[in-house]
Structure 1
Amino acid sequence: MNILLLFATLSTSSKAFQKTTFNSETELDSNKVIELNKNGYSNRLTSPDQSINIGRKAISIAKKINYQKGIAEGYRVTGIGYYYTNNSDSALNNYLISLNIFKKIKDEIGEAKVSSNIGNLWAEIDYDKSLEYFNQTLVIANKHSIKDLIAGTYLNIGNAYYRKKNYSLALSNYTRSNSLFKKINNPIGITQSLQNIGVIYFYLNNFDVAEKTLLEANKKSKENELNNTIATINLTLSTIYINKNNFKKAEQYINEGIGFAKLVNNQKLIYDYTYTNYELESKRKNYEKALEYLKEINALDSINYKKNTASNINLIQQTLKQQQTQKENELTIQAQINAQKLAFAIGAVTIMAFLVIFLLIKTNKRSKKSNSELTALNNEVIKQKNNVDRINHQLEEIIGERTKDLIIKNQKLSEYSSHLSHQIRGPVATLKGLMMLVEDKLVDSNEIAPQIKKCVDDIDSKIMTINEDLHDPTRKGLS
């Protein structure tokens, strides 16, 4: 049974059903296109056929004024209309056209919305694939802080986990979505999230909570004239009442739900109600009537199987084709970029070649003029070199003489040090001995004063002699 409602994407309208009238002299401007697309989107849960018509009208006007964003959104709205009438092939074709235009004009937000729509189509075939699309949408929605789209994407992620039978994760995402929708006061989103929460409680066999939640969602759906939503909610409510053996209420919600399903021309829901009628009559033990419904179901199953199989194959083929086209476009763009780079490089090389030729010619002219100057400079350099060589030779002679003089002085210093050590050491030792006698009080200082004076005089005389010898250039050694 199709008892979950998918959130198509961004919605800001508080009233789902808005009657739209068209004037033959419609003003051809972008504001009109924007208004049409909003109205078409708002009608998706009330009259999806109307969404298709309004979307086509928006496309027609947008093409006349070459409003690419309006054209892309028009195709998206038209695809949503086909989606809610269970025409997946037409929905996908419109989505792909919309996606290509959004990519062409580099509208990231538009791409995110279409990705969410395509993810809804994949939800019936490949749950993981649908999650990829929803997660891509969520990244962009968070990047641009689009609250409606964030809330709607959590709702769709919950649907994917519901189909994977991971009810805890599904409920977590539905609850988060409901909270976000309440914060931005989006009645349609609140209703859809409530419905899906009720469905999860139904599958958890908590019929009382499911019934209460779904009745609240049913009330809100009627307040906002959400015909498709009413039909899907009634389908679950009728199943709950069948399980509770409340056949009267089950029949009441089935009949009401069939009416709304026919109103929105949802053949899938009509089929689901046929199956629910079979369950009701079987539970009532009215086997004759149950058998009639079962025969009808078998006939519809055969038709739907072929239709769904063809639709699923088409979805896969179209997606692969889209991916291939995208890859080819990326390669074409890269080839164009490479060609531009190559052309730029060739141009740059050509310019540089001309510059080099120009510089060579200019340099050649200058070189002739400079040759004579260079020759004169070369002669001057040779002359200066000869002068430098002569000066260097003179310097070498001076350095040799200075070096010889330094060697002699160093030799004298060495001899002076040795001589001083031997000549002075004796008198110093005598002085040292006399001082020790005085310190030990063995002799009186007055008695040895002449000897001390003699030693000092001797030292002074020897130092003077050594200095004279050291500074006498004619002497080669110390006496």
Structure 2
Amino acid sequence: MKKSLLLTFLACFAFLLNAKCYGYNTDLDTNEVIKLNKQGFSMRLTDPEQTVKDAENALAIAQKINYTAGIAESWRVMGIGNYYQNQSVKAIDNYLTSLSLFTKINDLRGEGKVYNNIGNLYRDNDYERALEYFGKALVIAKKLSDNTLIAPIYLNIGNILVSKKKYNQALNYYNKSNDLYAALKDTVTLVTCMQNKGVVYSFLNQNELSKTFLLAANKKAKELDLNDPVARIDLTLAEIYMKQNQFDEAEKAIDEGITFANIIKNTKTVSDFKLTRYELEYKRKNYHEALDMLHDIYRQDSAVYKQNTSTQINLIQEQIKQQAREKENEILLQRQRYDRTRFWGVTIVSVLLLILVGILISNVKSKAKTNIQLTNLNAEVSRQKDNLDRINHHLEEIIDERTKDLQVKNKKLSEYSSYLSHQIRGPIATLKGLMNLEKEGLVDKQECIRMMNKCVSEIDDRIIEMSDMLHDPGRIGF
């Protein structure tokens, strides 16, 4: 039992030592990566800068433990944070890195999410390209029957249809997305659905219905601390208020929207509010203020144009760089597979060696124990042999002694026999003589009987004497 426990302990120790050396992940570390990515994603509409920070922290842990799925998701969440900060170049770089990793590990759901995210990047400048990526994502989502992925894709397709002024089709997609999010009980994205419906109704000139959806979405967004939706809702509300000549309400919506846009550091939304304020001042006939704002917008639009041109070039460059990174990732994954194979090889060899050493130690101990038992048995056999030798020697002595005793007794018996023969023969001869004399009538009958009695008595005495001598061999005089 002790040997088994020792071998088990050594095997576990070798496994843990190798696992530590090769940096394999633990459940605690992977859970921390998942937690940070979810936390970052949930902050995308409130504080996208924090989204990037959480994703970077998750990425550091995931890379340390070689958690490929966690690395891919961290890059994706980082891209989402950069997207909401209007950092398109950084976002596309993050998304392409994530996509290559998800593809390598054959994570279809991850690929679908990234395709959806990339489609959002092209939403404002290349509708067809955006729809292409949304289509790829939707194919995967339907293949997996994943409503959590289908719902945002429907929402994003609706956004493209709005940009293409296909409002009724867009509304249809928004409704399908809204139903899925309601079933999933996703209150955050339901706010976006209400906001998008309000935007569609504003384009359809159903301003009161539009305001109903937008005000409800605005209220809910503030309750959930969703800064980005509040800013976008305020922008649409300001445009509706201007259509209805409610200039004070429009100004309040613009001021509030700029505040929330600055909180999330979304320069594009801030620029949109400046344009809306220009339109407001123009409609108010505050031409001097409107002109100042127009100059500011012109300068900003010129800078934005240059930035957009630069962004397109950078996107192409990033795609070229991404191809190189994909090759590097392939090499990295091959190295990781090799390291895993080597790790398991070393672990198995270590365990086998430990088992072999244990068997050898057990055999040595068994042989030593057997040798001790054989030595003890040989000693016992030697001791028994000595005892037998002593017993045999003692028996020989006893036999010799009894042989001598028998020889003495045989000699005495021979002497008894001679003595008896000598002592009895005389009286018997006398009896024979008396019997012959009596037959001849030469002796008196009474005298003959007396003499015969005497001979018989002598014979009896000799027999008794001989019996006593036989029972008392040491009797003196024999």
1:106-255 → structure 2 map (5 Å cutoff): 106-255=106-255
Percent identity over the alignment is: 50
Q: Specify the code of the residue in structure 1 equivalent to 2:244.
A: K
1:137 deviates by 0.9
1:224 deviates by 1.1
In structure 1, what is the equivalent of residue 300 of structure 2? 300
In structure 2, what is the equivalent of residue 309 of structure 1? 309
1:311 deviates by 1.1
In structure 2, what is the equivalent of residue 382 of structure 1? none
1:129 deviates by 1.3
1:412-435 Cα offsets, whole Å, 9 max, x none, are xxxxxxxxxxxxxxxxxxxxxxxx
Q: Distance in 2 between matches of 1:211 and 1:180?
A: 23
Cα distance 1:200–1:319, how it changes in 2: closer, same or farther (>3 A)? Answer: farther
In structure 1, what is the equivalent of residue 89 of structure 2? 89
1:136 deviates by 1.2
- For the aligned residue pairs, the C-alpha RMSD in angstroms reads 2.2
Partner of 1:46, secondary structure, is coil
Task: Give the helix-richer structure, 1 or 2.
Answer: 2
In structure 1, what is the equivalent of residue 420 of structure 2? none
Return the TM-score normalized by structure 2. 0.61
In structure 1, what is the equivalent of residue 35 of structure 2? 35
Number of residue pairs the alignment of both structures matches: 306
In structure 2, what is the equivalent of residue 394 of structure 1? none
Structure 2: segments with no counterpart, 5+ residues = 1-25, 331-478
1:407-418 → structure 2 map (5 Å cutoff): none
In structure 1, what is the equivalent of residue 100 of structure 2? 100
Checking the alignment, whether the CA contact within 8 Å between 1:28 and 1:64 is kept in structure 2 is no
Q: Distance in 1 between matches of 2:172 and 2:308?
A: 30
Q: Specify the code of the residue in structure 1 equivalent to 2:304.
A: N
In structure 2, what is the equivalent of residue 379 of structure 1? none
1:202 deviates by 0.9
Checking the alignment, whether the CA contact within 8 Å between 1:28 and 1:61 is kept in structure 2 is no
1:99-136 Cα offsets, whole Å, 9 max, x none, are 11111111111011011111111112221111111111
1:313-324 → structure 2 map (5 Å cutoff): 313-319=313-319
Q: Distance in 2 between matches of 1:218 and 1:68?
A: 39
Return the TM-score normalized by structure 1. 0.61
Q: Distance in 1 between matches of 2:108 and 2:320?
A: 21
1:315 deviates by 2.5
Checking the alignment, whether the CA contact within 8 Å between 2:85 and 2:265 is kept in structure 1 is yes
1:209 deviates by 1.1
1:393-452 Cα offsets, whole Å, 9 max, x none, are xxxxxxxxxxxxxxxxxxxxxxxxxxxxxxxxxxxxxxxxxxxxxxxxxxxxxxxxxxxx
Q: Distance in 1 between matches of 2:324 and 2:137?
A: 21
Q: Distance in 2 between matches of 1:284 and 1:116?
A: 42
Q: Distance in 1 between matches of 2:264 and 2:210?
A: 25
Q: Distance in 1 between matches of 2:196 and 2:108?
A: 29
Checking the alignment, whether the CA contact within 8 Å between 2:41 and 2:51 is kept in structure 1 is yes
Structure 1: segments with no counterpart, 5+ residues = 1-25, 331-479
Partner of 1:29, secondary structure, is helix
Checking the alignment, whether the CA contact within 8 Å between 2:97 and 2:326 is kept in structure 1 is no
Checking the alignment, whether the CA contact within 8 Å between 2:101 and 2:329 is kept in structure 1 is no
1:278 aligns with 2:291: no
Q: Distance in 1 between matches of 2:163 and 2:30?
A: 40
